[in-house]
Structures are given as C-alpha cells and as structure tokens.
Amino acid sequence: MFNKLNACKCSNSWQDAGKLLLRLALGSIFVYHGYAKFVMGNVAVAGFFTSIGIPAAEFFAPLVIWVEMIAGGALILGLCTHWASKLLSVVAVVALFTAHISKGFSVAAGGYEFILLILASSLAILTMGAGKYSIDEYWCKNKTGPSGV
C-alpha cells in the first residue's frame, strides 16, 4: 500500500504549475512590499534603513523599492526570472541579517521565519527556473528574445 501511495506521479505532471504558483505568490509579496515602501517614500525608507544599520541608506532605499517592484513583477510574468530571483535573493538576505535575525525565529516577534521562507522561495525559483508558463519559456521555445533576435 505504501508503494502505491509513494508511486504518485503528481510531481512530474504538475511541476510547471507548481513553479507558476510559487512565482505568482513570491512576486506578489515583493510587489506589495515594494509598493508599500514606494508609498512611504524614499526619505522614510532611508530613515528605516539607517536605523537598522544599512550604510548609504539614501542610495539603497530607492534601489530596493524599484528592485522589489520590478523584479517582483518580472517573477509574476516569468520574465528574466533568473536575474529577478537573484536580485530578490540579495534583498532577502540583507533583510534577514539586518532586520530579522536578531529578533529570533517567530514572525510574530518580527523574527526571521517569514523572510527565511521568502529567501528559500527565491533560491528555489533561481535554481528550478520559471517553468513552461512563463515569458522566458515562450521566448526560449520560439528562439527569440525581447528584441526578436
């Protein structure tokens, strides 16, 4: 009986759907957080970054805002997924070590539970790729890029 349960081929049949769901969820989270920072404004975000010890906060505040929104949107579309997930992994690592790790594990206390999942998801997409439900796959399948080359 265990062999029958273990022999399920769902993971083979639904891999691309799983990648799509992961991209949609993670991209939405990053777009949401980037937009929230955008609404706060560069000065407020830079002030927060300074308070947690990030150097050159005035430079990094707008950079993080736009990376979260643009790369998050790219994940949703499956566009330049490798680079989008790389950039978002860097954002997640910095957030993990500057804002969350000192507060322990629990997300309720501001800990690293949630950002660890975000980082793991970003790295999973980075290593697995976008899947067939993506612009990246469409361009590769048709052997054309954004410029039609």
Least confident of 10-24, 49-63, 115-129: 10-24
> Distances in Å between the alpha carbon of 4 and those of 1, 7, 29, 138?
5, 5, 37, 36
| More confident site: 145 or 33 | 33
Given a cut of 90, whether residue 141 has pLDDT beyond it is: no
Digit-coded pLDDT (tens) for 30-89: 999 999 999 999 999 999 999 999 999 999 999 999 999 999 999 999 999 999 999 999
Model pLDDT, residue 146: 60
Domains of the chain by residue range: 17-141
To which residue do tokens 């404004």 refer?
41
Task: Express as a percent the part of the chain with pLDDT over 90.
Answer: 84
